[in-house]
Amino acid sequence: MKHALLFSVFVVASCGLAYELIAGALASYLLGDSVTQFSTVIGAYLFAMGIGSWLSRYVESRLVERFIQVELLVGVLGGFSAAGLFFLFTWSSAPFRVALYLAVCAIGVLVGLEIPLIMRILRQDLVFKDLVSQVLTFDYLGALAVSILFPVLLVPHLGLMRSALLFGLLNVAVALWAWWLFRAQLARGGLLRVQGLIALFALLGAFAAAGVLTSLAEVHLYTDEIVHAETSPYQRIVVTRWKDDLRLHLNNNLQFSSRDEYRYHEALVHPGLSALPRARRVLVLGGGDGLALREILKYPQVDSVVLVDLDPAMTRLFATAPPLRRLNGDALRSPRVTVVNDDALQWLERNDELFDFVVVDFPDPSNFAIGKLYSSAFYRLLEKHLAGDALAVIQSTSPLYARQAFWCIVTTIESVGLIATPYHALVPSFGEWGFVLAGRRPYHPPQAFAVDTRFLTAETAEAMFDFPKDMTRVEAEVNRLNNQVLVRYFEQEWRQVIR
């Protein structure tokens, strides 16, 4: 019995940390700014656990029965937490934060009750020093196990909703196991068994239907028909369609609309590449959808393109799905293209190749993981891969809606000794959007574009380098790895736009 209860400590510790990680990841997916979300969720959760531990002093009798009831409550509340919060967000994002922290605190209080109750149940079999050391050892081992399994196995293969339901099932299993071990001592054993079985079958049913539940939630989250949805180790990928308009969403953020993406990608590629008639080798960082590749491959002088994108799920999807292959012109299957699935910064550190043109097409710097790819350290590394007259182009968020963030990127590029030439273009799905050309020599725009375009002409391109008064330069700090000021600028400015 002692060993069974110690193993229960391992299980409940795993479940307790899992609910904390799931809440933080869900908040990060839906609200952005992962550092803030994880920090506040973890802080609230630990505080609630402290309250639960303090409240355990008032549980004076029927300890096993109370432990079983706590396990059932944790299993049901924690197990259904991800599904409930996700559905709430799709219905209305306004009460989501309140519900998130209420759920975190409620689960935290219950988890805080678990270990003190187990220790008091075990104290009749163990002396105090052995009791504390063994319980805490199993507690920490359980936390270690789930911290490794969560990003490597659980989220990529089960997703957040099924992961939460799985750990809910484990809590209920512990409750039913405790009921079996102590059934002869329980005054209300029959009722506890019925409650446990109801919780078990409810969680099993939800686990089996999790795919349907996720689809139902996303139908309300996205107004258009969902034609593809998957969770990779790095992000939630959703493709929607309305009539002839395909849209890509990553972690609930729109990445492109097929109706106007050509404006963005022509503006991203052609001002720089058309000014380099002798460019042979091109590097694309990000851009796993292949749309920038489509524009680059219009240039017959380009011999080879290396595309480095972190997520193999993205490049696989856009290389295999027929509608998306048509959209990118089957660029990811071109013999001139080499696809590498790797972290861009680490790939640059390991390679010493030089390129004539580099496209940096990362998502906006909404969190610190992406913000490092807009830092002075990254641009210093990027500069080492530029051939003599080479240019790099960096997508740089909106100079209208995130003005200080945009000019922070310009300032950061200049801080490493590169000459920055900013410009902007109107993309209806996003509004005014900004780009920066970077090189060792002043940029001279081409007199004409040598390839077919739907949007750009020499005349319209010239106007892109002129900034109206509400988008002109403002003071901004350099974005360094140790301050990540760009993420703060970006969050503050876009928060005002959303309001």
Which positions are catalytic? 361
Q: Print the SS3 string covering the chain.
A: CHHHHHHHHHHHHHHHHHHHHHHHHHHHHHHCCHHHHHHHHHHHHHHHHHHHHHHHHHCCCCHHHHHHHHHHHHHHHHHCHHHHHHHHHHHCCCCHHHHHHHHHHHHHHHHHHHHHHHHHHHCCCCCHHHHHHHHHHHHHHHHHHHHHHHHHHHHHHHHHHHHHHHHHHHHHHHHHHHHHHHCCCCCCHHHHHHHHHHHHHHHHHHHHCHHHHHHHHHHHHCCCEEEEEEECCCCEEEEEEECCEEEEEECCEEEEECCCHHHHHHHHHHHHHCCCCCCCEEEEEECCCCHHHHHHCCCCCCCEEEEECCCHHHHHHHHHCHHHHHHCCCHHHCCCEEEECCCHHHHHHHCCCCEEEEEEECCCCCCHHHHHHHCHHHHHHHHCCEEEEEEEEEECCCCCCCHHHHHHHHHHHHHCCCEEEEEEEEECCCEEEEEEEEECCCCCCCCCCCCCCCCCCHHHHHHHCCCCHHHCCCCCCCCCCCCCHHHHHHHHHHHHHHC
CA distance 460 to 58: 74
Burial of 66 (0-12, 13-18, 19+ CB in 10 A): middle
284 touches 269 (CB < 8 A): no
How far is the CA of 335 from the CAs of 63, 221, 306, 338, in angstroms? Answer: 68, 38, 11, 8
Beta strands 304-308 and 281-286: pairing type?
Answer: parallel
